[in-house]
Amino acid sequence: MLLRDECEIQVQGGKGGDGLVSFWREKYITKGGPDGGDGGDGGSVVLVATSRVNSLLILGRSPRYEAISGGPGGPNNRAGRDGDDVRLEVPLGTQVFDARRGNLLRDLVEEGQTLVVAQGGRGGRGNPHFATAVRQAPRRAEPGRPGEARRLRLELKLFAEVGLVGLPNAGKSTFLASVSRATPKIADYPFTTLEPQVGIAAVGDYDTLVVADLPGLIEGASEGHGLGYRFLKHVERCRVLLHLVDVSEMALEAPADALAVIERELELYSATLFARPRLLVATKVEGEVGERRAAELAEAAGRPVHAISSHTGRGVRELLDAAQKLVRAPGAAPARR
């Protein structure tokens, strides 16, 4: 399924059923009392967070969702039927905004978590509710109330334990394909990844890591340049970042320059994100040039560098082990915004 991480929808709660004006009619009884039933309550529109879906694609195909209205009251004090709710499944990590006001209504992050986004209208009361000692035959009943209407903006922030960041062609897609069953598009030109890809990597015999390949960032991404800025929000939920830098002789940027670009964009986008634990990874280390440039990258960064080759497998397991330790460390849970 293609990833769609934003959409706007109109939701409408069902109208409450009308109360009924009715009087008891039976043979030999000339003055039966009021017996009009109450209207049923309208159904509500409810969002349900679930791991069964991972995109807003299907939900965004329809611009409007409306719950069923309640049924009218009947004679003999029969209440109308309540309208059925409309339950819409959204992926874990969906943020729900009021599109008109712009305020965040809820961040749906737990399996089965629900949010009523359009409450159904209450059913109207039948005429027995208006009987008094001086008005024993009321010809009044309430109409059902309209359901709540609201326009919503939904934004998905992926849940992944490890996020891959780097310039285009840094080797993120190749790395993800080598450690999981994900099948991202891999080519020798920039921006082959146009949407986030998620895979599950096995670590040791009993553990796994959820890894997200995020589209390549460029200079100015935090200000809206390029493709990667659309997906910076997905990085926010990752517990650990792997910053991949191409150190091969075919690299489009010098390793130190590539490192500086992404570090700067992360810091400009969010100080909290910049403080997130991350490992520096030199990719495509498959010869003397790669070895030398990986060492130069470590010297320029002033911190250790994991040298890997996704094609040969060099350093990949060790990198996953290091990422696992950071992910499982106390206090590594991502901030929820």
User: Could you give the domains of the chain?
Assistant: 1-156 (2.70.210.12), 162-328 (3.40.50.300)
Q: Are strands 278-283 and 306-307 parallel, antiparallel or unpaired?
A: parallel
Are the beta carbons of 233 and 320 closer than 8 angstroms? no
Examine the pLDDT at 288 and tell me if it is beyond 80: yes
Examine the pLDDT at 39 and tell me if it is beyond 60: yes
Give residue 230's pLDDT: 55
Residue 70 phi, psi dihedral angles, 5° rounding: -75, 155
- Residue 312 Rama label (left phi>0; alpha psi -120 to 50; beta): alpha
Examine the pLDDT at 215 and tell me if it is beyond 90: no
Which one, of 132, 124, 123, 131, lies nearest residue 23 by Cα?
Answer: 131
Give residue 158's pLDDT: 72
| Percent of the chain residues past pLDDT 90, beyond the cut | 53
Of 32 and 127, the structure prediction assigns the larger pLDDT to 127
Give residue 310's pLDDT: 92
Burial class (CB in 10 A: 0-12, 13-18, 19+), 135: exposed
Give residue 256's pLDDT: 92
Give residue 315's pLDDT: 94
Give residue 191's pLDDT: 42
Question: 83-97, 205-219, 222-236: which has the highest mean pLDDT?
Answer: 83-97
Of 301 and 236, the structure prediction assigns the larger pLDDT to 301
Are the beta carbons of 179 and 35 closer than 8 angstroms? no
For 51-84, the pLDDT digits (tens) are 888 788 889 889 999 999 999 999 999 999 999 9
Examine the pLDDT at 197 and tell me if it is beyond 70: yes
pLDDT band at 189 (very low <50, low <70, confident <90, very high): very low
pTM (2 d.p.): 0.67
Report the alpha-carbon distance of residue 16 to residue 6 in Å, rounded.
31
Examine the pLDDT at 192 and tell me if it is beyond 50: no
Integer CA distances (angstroms), 332 to 73, 131, 226, 336, in order = 56, 64, 30, 12
